[in-house]
Amino acid sequence: MKIRNIFLSILVLFATTSVLNAAKTMRVTLQLPIKHSLGQNWLEFKKLVEKGTNGEVKVVIFPSAQLYKDKQVPGAVGGGAVEAGSALMLRFTGSVPAVDVVSLPFFFKDEAALRASVRNGSHVRTILDKAILKETGAKVLWWQAYSHNVYLNNGKPIRVPSDLKGKKVRTYGKILGWTVEQAGGYPTIMSGSKQFLAYQQHAVDVGMTGLSAVKSRKLYEVMHNVTLSYDSVIEFVAIINNKFFNSLSPKNQKVILDAATIVEKHLRDKVYSGEEKLAKELESKINVVRLTPQERAQWQSIAKPVTDRFIKAVGPMAKKVIAAAKADAAGK
């Protein structure tokens, strides 16, 4: 009887080990809390993947930068230290400078043009996703909409470019800094987590961020005005280590790609349909400034010099991406 029990125990242990070995674990590093829209986006992806693969692929999410900070994510995922993660698109400018195209002021004339350019399979995505994979070893699964850019300040609200003249402005990317310079201001690149203290201590005069960050980081406690300039877009990318992806069965690869397509659309729909609702919600906490058509035209007037500078700095790849975006917007 003892021998039989030992034999059964060995069989159970062997079977359990086999199941564990058969399952692939995809660890996801996320800079933001799980309650954030990007965290909820990954949770939806996790449910779809685990159900679609019958548990053969397990997705484990590590939010709030438990594993890596945002700037470390491209290297960590591309190098295989972690299987997947989210990173601000601009974190790839070192290896693929052309990704900064999303920061060009008023590059996307409207939401329809934006959606056409960032959808899976678009000319823009084909160029940039391929370049990111080649340069970093990270495969782009989907683009994660974050929000449009807005300006924050105290005192007289920011309404036109000249309102930035002589002001220190917090930015989060090089092209955004060029926009500030074109308006006569002085850009200071700063991580999102440092904003509150910087505004509180008056280290900068003006801030640039996404509307959702105004709420989540409680920036309304240290800034009195938020200007809905919506002059550029903030995009994150969900990436996966390419070697890990290729180690999966074709069936499970398809499940992952299909899930990515679904959650990408859900997030973008949610983010852009919810911005006006969020703006109204914040009206009780901060002065929300909406630009007139005439004021917006003044911001658009400084866009071309920034775009020309981008083309000169990045070269042929910049021209290629810009042409691709125009083709996407035209439906070609």
pLDDT digits (tens, 9 = 90+) for 215-247: 988 999 999 999 999 999 999 999 999 999 999
CB 260 within 8 A of CB 44: no
Give the pTM: 0.86
Which has the minimum average pLDDT: 192-196, 235-239, 301-305, 315-319? 192-196
Tokens describing residue 127 = 């160029």
- Return the percentage of the chain with pLDDT > 90, whole number: 81
d(CA 139, CA 227): 35
Phi-psi region of 315 (alpha: psi -120 to 50; beta: other; left: phi over 0): left
Mean pLDDT on 168-193: 94
pLDDT band at 192 (very low <50, low <70, confident <90, very high): confident
| Of 200, 224, 195, residue with least CA distance to 210 | 195
DSSP one-letter string for 135-176: HHSEEEEEEEEEEEEEEEESSSPP-SGGGGTT-EEEESSHHH
| CA distance from start to end of the chain | 74
Inform me whether the pLDDT recorded for 264 exceeds 60.
Answer: yes
Helix axes 303-314, 174-182, angle to 10 degrees: 140
Tokens describing residue 318 = 């910049």
